[in-house]
Structure 1
Amino acid sequence: MQDRLADAMAALRSAATGHDLANLDRFGIVAPGALGVSMANLQTLAKRLGRDHDLAAALWATGVYEARMLACLVDDPARVTPEQMDAWRAGFDNWAIVDTACFKLFDRSPHAWTRIKAWAGLNDEFGRRAAFALLACLALHDKRAEDRPFLDGLVLIERAATDDRNFVKKAVNWALRAIGLRESPALKAAAIETARRLAASPDAAPRWVGKDALRALTKAARTKISET
């Protein structure tokens, strides 16, 4: 394993550029000690390495931003445990690692749904973002899921919409929009109703979440009608 890890780290350092390092600041990604490797190069390296749960654990343990991003891309979702998800979540320190873990790995884990409720009540900004980023990713990717867990998710969304921290409210908004864009008419209606209630709030954070989601969902509905 040490040889595999050393090879992966060497490949990351070889792919690093000053331009890609500067892009982290440009995109608001705070990652001290980062190397500067583009997502395209990370994905190319991940494809070459293939799925490797043990390598993913070793990469994550380095604490290096790009190594952790690569860990999310090479880990085996079937071997990810709730304990691992919680441990990695505790190490989230920027929005990009949150979203990559949720979009590329956690939403494919059989334990994904159990983590949403567990994380939705967290106090730390990126941990709470993870709950709603994961909910959004499941809304996008889990085509076989029933309506019930998403309806339960709307309750969590409404509760968390008062959190005015930037990375939380954006994930809450993302989850609301993603649920409302599923094929289920019942979910579309429930998401729009939730958005309307939030849009009518006297408080700025839920009002923004609701208005932005309502705009996206009503636009999508109009587009679908015009195409029929």
Structure 2
Amino acid sequence: MSTQEQIKEIKQSFRQMMDGSIAQSMRDKGVNYHLNWGATLPRLKEKADEIGKDYDLAIALWKENVRECKILATMIMPAEQMLPEVVDIWMEQTDSLEIAEQAAFNLYQHLPFAADKAFLWLASPDDIPQICGYHILTRLFMNKQEPNERGINEFIDQALVALQSPSVPVRKAAMQALIRFSELGLMYQRLAHSAISSIGLDFI
């Protein structure tokens, strides 16, 4: 079956997963995709498991301006095959928080260069790359990956700026990452507490 035929079959499968109330709820929150079937994440995960990892299909699915295609692309892309420049293109084309979160969770946290991309995105002037960066670091910290000294300083500096951002999602993502950072050990806990105290905050 050609990639285009696969995409056609996948899109038809979305009709069975359709959930109008989820799609409507997203529209009400201002999340607008060209096409949105409102398929739930567990249903999409089942589809991804059925397909298996497939680089070419992931690339083709991502190009479709359809919510479910983009999420599925993040689920079936083999992390070890994804190049940094492709990640950059995907990030440039990510214009919703949901896609950023799904990409971080399903794919970006597993990339061999995950931390490098995350730190790069923390310094972005735009909310979506920043949030994606914090989500990646949250997952890495949860997996007990400790940053080096330079990484620690950079993370804390960026997180303190983010915690004072006018954007609620940016603040929440930074706080979540700081909480996970503090769980890496006593030294990290002290550093995190000292940092957030310096701007008059405390862990939620």
TM-score normalised to the size of structure 2? Answer: 0.88
CA distance change for structure 1 residues 176 and 29 in 2, over 3 Å: closer, same or farther?
A: farther
Q: Which amino acid aligns with 1:188?
A: Q
Unaligned runs of 5+ in 1: 201-209, 216-228
Percent identity (aligned): 21
User: 2:117 — aligned with what?
Assistant: 115
Hey, what's the Cα distance between the residues in 1 that align with 2:138 and 2:147? 15
Hey, what's the Cα distance between the residues in 2 that align with 1:44 and 1:167? 28
User: 2:22 — aligned with what?
Assistant: 20
- Is the contact between residue 154 and residue 194 of structure 1 (CA under 8 Å) also seen in structure 2? yes
How far the C-alpha of 1:31 sits from its partner, in A, is 2.9
User: 1:152 — aligned with what?
Assistant: 154
How far the C-alpha of 1:47 sits from its partner, in A, is 0.9
CA distance change for structure 1 residues 144 and 120 in 2, over 3 Å: closer, same or farther?
A: closer
State which drifts further: 40-49 or 119-128.
119-128
Residue number among 173, 177, 180 corresponding to 2:179 in the alignment: 177
How far the C-alpha of 1:81 sits from its partner, in A, is 1.4
**Cα deviations by residue, 1:101-151 (Å, 9 ceiling, x for unpaired):** 11111010011111122212222221222222222122123x344554345
Q: Which amino acid aligns with 1:185?
A: L
CA distance change for structure 1 residues 137 and 25 in 2, over 3 Å: closer, same or farther?
A: farther
SS of residue matched to 1:34: coil
- Is the contact between residue 24 and residue 30 of structure 1 (CA under 8 Å) also seen in structure 2? yes
User: 1:96 — aligned with what?
Assistant: 98
Hey, what's the Cα distance between the residues in 2 that align with 1:191 and 1:180? 6
**How do 1:5-154 and structure 2 match up within 5 A?**
5-25=7-27, 28=29, 30-32=31-33, 33-141=35-143, 143-146=144-147, 148=149, 149-154=151-156
TM-score normalised to the size of structure 1? Answer: 0.80
Q: Are 2:188 and 1:187 equivalent residues in the alignment?
A: yes
User: 1:222 — aligned with what?
Assistant: none
Please identify runs of 4+ aligned residues in structure 1 that moved more than 4 A.
none
CA distance change for structure 1 residues 150 and 96 in 2, over 3 Å: closer, same or farther?
A: farther
Q: Which amino acid aligns with 2:187?
A: A
CA distance change for structure 1 residues 196 and 99 in 2, over 3 Å: closer, same or farther?
A: same
Unaligned runs of 5+ in 2: none
Report which of the two has the higher share of helix: 1
